[in-house]
Chains A and B, each alone.
Chain A
Amino acid sequence: MATMVSSAGGLLAMLNEDHPTLKLHALTNLNAFVDYFWPEISTSVPIIESLYEDEEFDQRQLAALLVSKVFYYLGELNDSLSYALGAGPLFDVSEESDYVHTLLAKAIDEYASLKTKAAESNKAAEVDPRLEAIVERMLDKCILDGRYQQAIGMAIECRRLDKLEEAITKSDNIHATLSYCSNVSHLFVNRREYRHEVLGLLVDVFKKLPSPDYLSICQCLMFLDEPMGVAGILEKLIRSENEDDALLAFQIAFDLIENEHQAFLLNVRDRLTQPKYLPAEPVQPVSTETESAQDATAATTEDVQMADGTQAATEAAVTGSVPVVDPKEATYAERLTKLRGILSGETSIQLTLQFLYSHNKSDLLILKTIKQSVEMRNSVCHSATIYANAIMHAGTTVDTFLRENLDWLSRATNWAKFSATAGLGVIHRGHLQQGRSLMAPYLPQSGSGGGSPYSEGGALYALGLIHANHGEGIKQFLRQSLSSTNVEVIQHGACLGLGLAALGTADEDVFDDIKNVLYTDSAVAGEAAGISMGLLMVGTASEKATEMVAYAHETQHEKIIRGLALGIALTVYGREEGADTLIEQMTRDQDPIIRYGGMYALALAYSGTANNKAIRQLLHFAVSDVSDDVRRTAVLGLGFVLYSEPEQTPRIVSLLSESYNPHVRYGAALAVGISCAGTGMSEAISLLEPLTSDVVDFVRQGALIAMAMVMVQISEASDSRVGAFRRQLEKIILDKHEDTMSKMGAILASGILDAGGRNVTIKLLSKTRHDKMTAVVGLAVFSQFWYWYPLIYFISLAFSPTALIGLNYELKVPRFEFLSQAKPSLFEYPRPTTVATTTSAVKLPTAVLSTSVRAKARASKKEADQKEKAEKSSATESTSGKVKSSSDKDDDSMQVDGPAEKKAEPEPSFEILINPARVVPAQEKFIKFLDDSRYVPVKSAASGFVLLKDLRPTEPEFLSLIDAPSSNASTGGGSATAQQGSAASMAVDDEPQPPQAFEYTS
């Protein structure tokens, strides 16, 4: 433009002309120049407005647009929007200007809030049709321009499911869009009902696709709680001719398992149709399947293969039980058996067990140090050591420590004995087949009744821990034990065990059994009963809660009230707004213990949602309640609400962690521990560090435990503070003058830090970002250890193995290699502790943790020394096979990555891992499958169970993990040998093996 007019006066004057053409001319030009002359035009707005209101003027919309722009510049967005609506089609949503952007945002906000309000009050929305038109135009435009994510976001926000569907179906990459969409709906849709609607729509869209992404559909269906749909899909897949489809079905099943929704999985499993005949070798995991043989004829009628089916059916009727094998049916039956195995969780549990057993890297020397440093008479530290041992070996089935220290162990009496026995359950967690025989010596004997009730109760609790969330097989036994006793300690154990085994199944009969125990009004048994009822009813929001509240008011025992309060909280797990009435009722109660339960209810109902309302409420209680318990719990609850966004937690609780009230500080520490568990987040560690040297002993305890939870599986190479923390723990444990409370915290922390043989982490979210119910419930009950130490074992529910386990079609673990594109030292196991001095070896209780990576060269030299020493010292022991196997192992590892061992050479920037391998969460992004690998994963995933497609099926396969942990019910020495032997035959890790844990003969 050559020259600019300096004033809009001329044009404004033209507006007053009589001739409509002149007015139009003026309007058009003003509209073009409004960006510069709005201050001048603003004085003439009334004239333009009157033009807009003039029914006869044919350019009213232009006038409206002009007014709207002027109002926009004046900051009157509401007026601006209403005139923009008047401008109709002239308001161009695609225009790239601040004005249009601002107004669109405003319009969408307005529209969304109207729609939301309407949806929440269940009234039809009274929305200005013009507003709707604008939003629709915007949506259409986004879709046309290919900005699907934007369109999806808007459609969800505005509750326009029709547009959402359109956006998804029109997008160029429907699968990506769908997964984006389901992600968004989890992250940003706060209302549960609405989220269900969205997911329902997604499932519909999924189903219409030519090549549906069954993995995602099933995830959605699971969230919607529609077992029928999942069962249908799975069945279709395993009926397919293609083996890949079956692999996919297995993969789906493994993914579902990861979310730990027991009731749902059982439902899916029971809805899969039976095969027409059972294969000749029925390896049935479930008893229900046997009945189906009789229903074979019924099943055939509804089958797809009608002609075949009927014929086969008659044959079957004639031949009776002799199977005439229709090959298709046979494959179906075979696949179905596998699928059921997976869905029941048995396959994954077994594989996990094998993995944890074979990769166990726990350091017995740490335990030994702890054991020697705690005073004999200090029973708190004594049992803390037992807890730490159990946690360290959770799921590994390695109970060497206990067996070697039976004398020492026998000092545990009463409740300590209870937890010592229960600890076995943690160690053998997941050992479904042999769990019962393992615990047999401790279980209540019918008739004789000779054993201590404490160990009997503990054994029942242990059974529950072994079968946690997979308690089909053991439920009946536990019920019997419960009803056949009236010793409250045994009842206590049985209640907890039953609750764990039947987690979330809402089984009425079990509930009634437990209720009977509750009504005996015995404090000890009642507490466990309360918790157990909650476990049973997790997330059902059933009517039973009111019953429980009523009894909580009735009883005199604080223990029972506390148990019930937690139980009630558990029932509303994940119900979000659905739990509001109950939460309201509980948080307004007179009794602080019920309010305390209310805090848990709030935390669990909104767990992982990061819901602002819940956070606000919790913060309010954290600073305003009169009871310290309630305040502590309120802060702690923040950890649960925020675990889906762990970055937030340290920021939110940072002020609270400096509170004058030690209870609040304690809560803040645990909140960080819970929500940032396993992340090793720097902010979280910085927040916890000062708390570990707090003036109040229990705050130190909480901070140490929380720190351990945050640092679990973080290697020193990625954060040097891990090493410092380990040394701090050791110092606290060895310090004679340290308070018992913090000492106990330190002992537990060492246990958690090396949990599950250093192969597990604490994870509250599955890979698909669903909540892991069992884990959340486990941590919630764990946080109760403040009142009742045996509940510490619940933390084992939150452990999930960090492994990549590749499976072939046979659900076996083939041996193959893949790549981790990161320095090995970043993710390696912590080095085993060593004795400080090499010369004057004997009886010095001090041990120094070897720390830095740069000392690698020295360490490897030392390692050699130690091997010699180990040889020497182990000469006193009976088994010499140990040593041999260890040197074998070292040889193997030398072959795999020799360079890493050499002194001068720089560390390689990658390492080769062999299936199954430990892959810690931070490592996942570095995992790559080799291009020329024989196996290709069905879906891209870097951890967990991955089904593999075999590209060269003709070649012979080498399997890893073929050795199941042998029955440890045999002698201790035997089990130790078995362990070593298997480790040697196992796929060798490329990391230097830790030297044998050698023991002193004292």
Chain B
Amino acid sequence: MDPKLSEVSQMCELFKAALVRNDFEKCETLLSQLKVLLTAFRSLPPLFEATLNAVHELTVARDIYEHAVILSVKTEDQDAFERDFFQLKPYYTDAGDRLPQSQQEFPILGLNLLRLLVQNRIAEFHTELELLSASALENPCIKHAVELEQSFMEGAYNRVLTARQTVPHETYVYFMDLLAKTVRDEIAGCSEKAYDSLSINDARQILLFSSDQELSGYINEEHPEWEIKNGYVIFQKAKESAPCKEIPSLQLITQTLSYARELERIV
């Protein structure tokens, strides 16, 4: 076997072991080295050269990136997740026909959908969805994400929050937590538009907080423009909503009429 490949495989085992041990620092250093080593293989995307060990190399590389994605979830690093996921993706989309399907494929795709949902990137979410086959949509991991999105869009936020209990995979928990915050942001945005003010009590209920402290903490952090006064949360809607510009209708009418007159004169 190719010495480079065996080196990578060994290191990959170390990496996976460290991941299981939750030794994140070690994981990071190993991963970084692995990635550099992977660049030397010409069979990997984007080159896809048909070398002798192509299938094996591809499998190892995919394995590494899958674990890298999981690592990023564990370290709660969304940027790293995105990076690693995109690097992993060609192994599913472009090399899928040459490799046996990975166990991890659907959970990770689902995770990515969830991430998009969390980041409120709905357009990308649907793009990704379009790329999946009909059978993939049946997979519980994917289905979960799709259902979440539907509830999210409907505004059935409570359903979103209860879905946390029915996660298909343990890695989803992190994102589900984040999702709660996304939901809250969404609600906050709506109430800001809908109400001039709300009593602290109502606000706490609507925003799904259990205590007033949490509420005021949230307000300070995310919406410093809100005001808490006399037991009410005042949304600064009045300030923002500057009157829309008046349409200079009279001027337009006279102009149009004069054009018409001129035209008549010319003809």
Q: Which residues of B contact A1001 (CB under 8 A)?
A: none
Cβ–Cβ contact A5 & B39, under 8 A: no
Cβ–Cβ contact B39 & A10, under 8 A: no
Cβ–Cβ contact A25 & B39, under 8 A: yes
- Give the contacting residue for A7; candidates B35, B48, B83, B93; CB below 8 A: B93
Q: Which residues of B contact A5 (CB under 8 A)?
A: 45-46, 48, 90, 94
Say whether A2 faces chain B, with CB atoms less than 8 Å apart: yes
Q: Which residues of B contact A3 (CB under 8 A)?
A: 48, 94-95, 98
Say whether A9 faces chain B, with CB atoms less than 8 Å apart: yes
Cβ–Cβ contact A16 & B50, under 8 A: no
Binary flags per residue of A459-502, CB closer than 8 Å to B gives 1, else 0? 00000000000000000000000000000000000000000000
Binary flags per residue of B67-81, CB closer than 8 Å to A gives 1, else 0? 000000000000100
The distance from the CB of B178 to the nearest CB of chain A, in whole angstroms, is: 20
Cβ–Cβ contact A4 & B32, under 8 A: no
Say whether B89 faces chain A, with CB atoms less than 8 Å apart: yes
Q: Which residues of B contact A50 (CB under 8 A)?
A: none
Interface of B is mostly: helix
Of all chain B residues, the one with the shortest Cβ separation from A30 is B46
Q: Which residues of B contact A11 (CB under 8 A)?
A: 46
Of all chain A residues, the one with the shortest Cβ separation from B37 is A21
Cβ–Cβ contact A9 & B83, under 8 A: no
Cβ–Cβ contact B90 & A7, under 8 A: yes
Q: Which residues of B contact A25 (CB under 8 A)?
A: 39
- Give the contacting residue for B79; candidates A9, A16, A21, A22; CB below 8 A: A16
Q: With A and B bound together, what is the CA distance between A283 and B79 in angstroms?
A: 102
How many A-B residue pairs lie within 8 Å, measured between CB atoms? Answer: 62
- Give the contacting residue for B46; candidates A10, A17, A22; CB below 8 A: A10
Q: Which residues of B contact A9 (CB under 8 A)?
A: 86, 89
Q: Which residues of B contact A33 (CB under 8 A)?
A: 46
Give the size category of B's interface with A: 20 to 34
Q: With A and B bound together, what is the CA distance between A425 and B95 in angstroms?
A: 94
The distance from the CB of A51 to the nearest CB of chain B, in whole angstroms, is: 15
Say whether A12 faces chain B, with CB atoms less than 8 Å apart: yes
Say whether A13 faces chain B, with CB atoms less than 8 Å apart: yes
Q: Which residues of B contact A45 (CB under 8 A)?
A: none
Known A3-B48, A22-B39; contact A10-B32, beta-carbon cutoff 8 A: no
Q: With A and B bound together, what is the CA distance between A21 and B39 in angstroms?
A: 8
Q: With A and B bound together, what is the CA distance between A7 and B95 in angstroms?
A: 12
Cβ–Cβ contact B87 & A13, under 8 A: yes
Say whether A1002 faces chain B, with CB atoms less than 8 Å apart: no
Say whether B82 faces chain A, with CB atoms less than 8 Å apart: yes
Binary flags per residue of A28-43, CB closer than 8 Å to B gives 1, else 0? 0100110000000000
Q: With A and B bound together, what is the CA distance between A3 and B79 in angstroms?
A: 28
Q: Which residues of B contact A18 (CB under 8 A)?
A: 32
Cβ–Cβ contact B36 & A19, under 8 A: yes
User: Within B7-63, which residues are at the interface with A (CB < 8 Å)?
Assistant: 32, 35-36, 39, 45-50
Say whether A173 faces chain B, with CB atoms less than 8 Å apart: no
Of all chain B residues, the one with the shortest Cβ separation from A32 is B46
Q: With A and B bound together, what is the CA distance between A16 and B80 in angstroms?
A: 9
- Give the contacting residue for A10; candidates B48, B50, B90; CB below 8 A: B90
Cβ–Cβ contact A4 & B79, under 8 A: no
Q: Which residues of A contact B79 (CB under 8 A)?
A: 16
The distance from the CB of B64 to the nearest CB of chain A, in whole angstroms, is: 13
The distance from the CB of A29 to the nearest CB of chain B, in whole angstroms, is: 5
Q: Which residues of B contact A4 (CB under 8 A)?
A: 46, 48, 94
The distance from the CB of B69 to the nearest CB of chain A, in whole angstroms, is: 12
Say whether A318 faces chain B, with CB atoms less than 8 Å apart: no
Cβ–Cβ contact A17 & B83, under 8 A: yes
Q: With A and B bound together, what is the CA distance between A3 and B54 in angstroms?
A: 12
Max chain A Cβ within 10 angstroms of own Cβ: one of B39, B46, B85, B94: B46
The distance from the CB of B88 to the nearest CB of chain A, in whole angstroms, is: 8
Q: Which residues of B contact A17 (CB under 8 A)?
A: 35, 83
Q: Which residues of A contact B94 (CB under 8 A)?
A: 3-6
The distance from the CB of A47 to the nearest CB of chain B, in whole angstroms, is: 12
Q: With A and B bound together, what is the CA distance between A4 and B48 in angstroms?
A: 7
Q: With A and B bound together, what is the CA distance between A7 and B46 in angstroms?
A: 9
Say whether A1 faces chain B, with CB atoms less than 8 Å apart: yes
Q: Which residues of A contact B95 (CB under 8 A)?
A: 3
Say whether A184 faces chain B, with CB atoms less than 8 Å apart: no
Of all chain A residues, the one with the shortest Cβ separation from B33 is A19
Cβ–Cβ contact A29 & B46, under 8 A: yes
Say whether A14 faces chain B, with CB atoms less than 8 Å apart: yes
Known A3-B48, A5-B48; contact A12-B32, beta-carbon cutoff 8 A: no
Of all chain A residues, the one with the shortest Cβ separation from B35 is A22
- Give the contacting residue for B93; candidates A6, A16, A19, A22; CB below 8 A: A6
The distance from the CB of A910 to the nearest CB of chain B, in whole angstroms, is: 65
Cβ–Cβ contact B36 & A16, under 8 A: no
Q: Which residues of B contact A10 (CB under 8 A)?
A: 45-46, 86-90
Cβ–Cβ contact B86 & A29, under 8 A: no
Q: Which residues of B contact A19 (CB under 8 A)?
A: 32, 35-36
Of all chain A residues, the one with the shortest Cβ separation from B85 is A13
The distance from the CB of B131 to the nearest CB of chain A, in whole angstroms, is: 9
Q: With A and B bound together, what is the CA distance between A412 and B79 in angstroms?
A: 106
Q: Which residues of A contact B87 (CB under 8 A)?
A: 10, 13-14
23 A-B pairs with C-beta separation under 8 A: A1-B49, A2-B49, A3-B48, A3-B94, A3-B95, A4-B46, A4-B48, A5-B46, A5-B48, A5-B90, A6-B90, A6-B94, A7-B89, A7-B93, A8-B46, A10-B87, A12-B86, A13-B86, A14-B83, A16-B83, A17-B35, A21-B36, A32-B46
Nearest 3 CB-CB pairings of A with B: A13-B86, A25-B39, A5-B46
Beyond the given A3-B94, A8-B46, could you list 6 further A-B residue pairs with CB under 8 A, ordered by the A residue number? A5-B46, A6-B94, A12-B86, A13-B82, A13-B85, A22-B39
Could you list which residues of chain A lie within 8 angstroms of chain B, going by C-beta atoms? 1-14, 16-19, 21-22, 25, 29, 32-33
